[in-house]
Amino acid sequence: MFLVRTRKRSAPRSIAFAALSLATLSLLVGCSDDQALDDDVSDQAGGTSALAGKPDGDSSRPWPAPTDVPERVAAAGQLQVIVDGAEVPVPANIGVDPATGAMSALHTHTEDGQIHIEADVTGEVFTLGQLFTQWGVQLSRGQIGGVRAKTGETVTVTTNGKPYSGDPTELRLQPNQQIVVQLK
């Protein structure tokens, strides 16, 4: 399964990281152990359990952390790779330089198939082939990595449950896509 998170870069990473660190520190300093306050915040925002994975466009501030995380992750989308009937994990840190921590615009942070896109330019196009190239895994209609299709087999791709018949490397990544790449 596959999640594409898009965000336009607006500041150098070091500045953005520093700002995020300060914001996080401010939030941590302001945390409360007062259960009544926590309950009031949840009630004001209308809670999150009824959202069933859909973004909430109706509640007022402040917005609490969701309680239905698995449903929200599934709704966001993810990449799933299947070879010989077994799921192949999509590793963390694809597109991340292990020596410096620098990230390409297309990268992963975790091993759950979530792909992040942080483009420098609005409208920049990213493809499944770019991700597989950064991963170092060959992808074609007849091959995933070192596993080649046998007679009668092929690499199939579905996006949001619909078959994709083009070259799998040219599949454009979009927000909220559910992508399954399978050799069968």
Cα three-residue angle 114-92-66, rounded to 5 degrees: 45
Check pLDDT > 50 for residue 42: no
Query: Greatest CA separation found in the chain?
Result: 64
Q: In this predicted model, what pLDDT tens digit does every residue of 102-126 receive, in sequence order? A: 999 999 999 999 998 888 888 889 9
50 or 142: which leads in pLDDT: 142
For residue 61, the model assigns a pLDDT of 62
- For the chain, report the end-to-end CA distance as a whole number of angstroms: 17
For residue 93, the model assigns a pLDDT of 94
pLDDT, average across residues 148-159: 96
**C-beta neighbour count of 43 within 10 angstroms:** 10
pLDDT, average across residues 98-104: 92
pLDDT, average across residues 72-86: 76
Domain ranges in the chain are 3-10+77-183
SS3 for the chain is CCEEEECCCCCCHHHHHHHHHHHHHHHHHCCCCCHHHHHHHHHHCCCCHHHCCCCCCCCCCCCCCCCCHHHHHHHHCCEEEEECCEEECCCCCCCECCCCCCECCEEECCCCCEEEECCCCCCCCCEHHHHHHHHCCCEECCEECCEECCCCCCEEEEECCEEECCCHHHCECCCCCCEEEEEC
For residue 116, the model assigns a pLDDT of 87
